[in-house]
Amino acid sequence: MKNISLKAFALSAVALSLTSCEDDSSLLISEGQAQFRIIAPVDGDAIFLDKDYPNNPALTVSWEDAVYNGAPTQVNYSIEVDKDGDNFDSPYVLGTSTGNSLTFKVSELNTAAATIGLAPNALGTMNVRIKATIGTVGAEPMLSNVVNYSVTPYLSYLFKDYYFVGAATAPGWNNNNNNTPLWRNPSNSSLYEFTGYFVGGGGGTSEFKILETLGLWQPQWGTNDGGAQSGALAGNPATQSGDPGVFKITGPSGYYKFSMNMATGVRTFSITPYTGSTSTTYSVIGMIGSAAGGWADSNQINMTPLASDPHVWYANNVALANGELKFRANNGWTVNWGSNTEYSGTGTQGGPNIPVTGTTYNVWFNDLTGQYMLIPASN
């Protein structure tokens, strides 16, 4: 009996020794040595991101090897960036590599800057670090030093805008005549609409199309369904090589809502009479707020109504700052509109302040619907 016990004890000791060695090996592999360092950029480096050259190289990040104890293993690197002071609580991963260097384009770095919250057209600080990991279970990541990198990003306006052209609409058949934009739904950027005055009757003066870029005839949108008041959109060059047919207001001249869904695979439109009241008009519509220079009455930026529609207002080439604004009527606060969505939205009476990212805008406002558009003038 004693012999059996001794043998069992010896076998247990060997097994324990093997397990211990295996664990030690895992621990050795998962423990890094001294912190590795970023070679480039260095603290204090800075760059101005030029939106006219989005594919130019903007930043090259290079770093030392992260050396792990134990058997050789592949090291995976993530280049992380965050806004200065945010302590990498929710870092943006700029790129990944198994090597020691990565180069990023202007557009890539600008997207990173916007994502972490750096304001456009202003110098901001982006913190850069490298996180190294290996495939071993339980391995702890190694972190490099942090480099402070200064960036001046540009406004990253990623939306598509659409404009009216044609005899039934305010600009006529001039493709660069302060053409009225369609309002974009902030909850679904494929949905567009406009409520306003159209010339009707079904003849040549009731025709119009949709353009994507002021001053250019392509891309353009219309319909091949004649005088249909709803149906499929047709576009050159999106759906065909030739120009599409015109939209028509077959009813009498008056107020209509034009809607279109630009989602790929859908692309439909509708024209419906506007049934709300158009009797209330305002002598003044203005923008006011910290984005417009302050909340004092003297800071109000007055808008101009369309000659053909007293309910649609515009102000072109308006320099706005980072801040907030509201729209208001007749130089007072009795009637005012606000919302919480940037660039486009629907203002409601007494609603919240509209957030604004500073740049120069063409601003449009519809007092029938409260809908507004802030379109970067250089877009």
Supply 183's token pair. Answer: 């309002």
What pLDDT, in 10s, does the model give residues 204-240?
999 999 999 999 999 999 999 989 999 999 999 999 9
Question: Is the pTM above the cut of 0.75?
Answer: no
pLDDT in tens, 287-305: 999 999 999 999 999 999 9
pLDDT digits (tens, 9 = 90+) for 93-128: 999 999 999 999 999 999 999 888 888 888 999 999
If you average pLDDT over residues 348-376, what whole number do you get?
96
The letter for the amino acid at 197 is: Y
pLDDT of residue 3: 41
Q: Residue 57, preceding bond cis, omega within 30 degrees?
A: no
Q: What is the rounded CA–CA span in Å between residue 47 and residue 27?
A: 42
